[in-house]
Amino acid sequence: MESQGFLAENKLSWEPLPVDVTGGVVREWIAMAGYDEAIVASLTSALTGAGLTEMLLQAAEDASGANATTIKTLSAADIILAAAVGGKGVLSATAAEIASIGEAAGYRFTHVGLKLTCANAADVVGSITILSKGRKYADQTASS
């Protein structure tokens, strides 16, 4: 049961659709405790204009988004087919990267969130956040 193994090692959170993200918003801050990596992905499913214009992986000090700070960014130029249905973007950061950026700014980040910005309120974008405990591959060989 591979899917049970995946779900046992990862936490998944989907954003509800449709979402008006013309002003850019983090809809959910997810606790990072116990996870080694944050991965965020988005996909446009309906457009009325230029579609997804920005995608940010952010971190904060609590579930309210205190001291939210951008960890990684994709602009429209970096998003695959940003202005087309099916436009997508993916960002990831390790817990160590997130902690390092927080420490440099004087923060202790405990939560991550995905911030999306679209050109029009009627654009529909789905997203998922995956928190991963990581996998150790030291015992694998090229043939495994």
Given this model, what pLDDT does residue 113 score?
92
Given this model, what pLDDT does residue 136 score?
52
Q: Which helix (DSSP H) or strand (DSSP E) does residue 124 occupy?
A: strand 124-132
The reply to whether omega before 16 is within 30° of 0 (cis) is no
CATH number of 10-132: 2.60.120.380
Given this model, what pLDDT does residue 83 score?
66
Domain ranges of the chain: 10-132
- Decide if 92 contacts 37 (C-beta within 8 A): yes
Lowest mean pLDDT among 6-15, 89-98, 133-142: 133-142
Instruction: Tell me the pLDDT tens digit for each residue of 29-46.
Output: 999 999 999 999 888 777
- pTM metric for this prediction: 0.81
Given this model, what pLDDT does residue 99 score?
96
The reply to whether omega before 18 is within 30° of 0 (cis) is yes
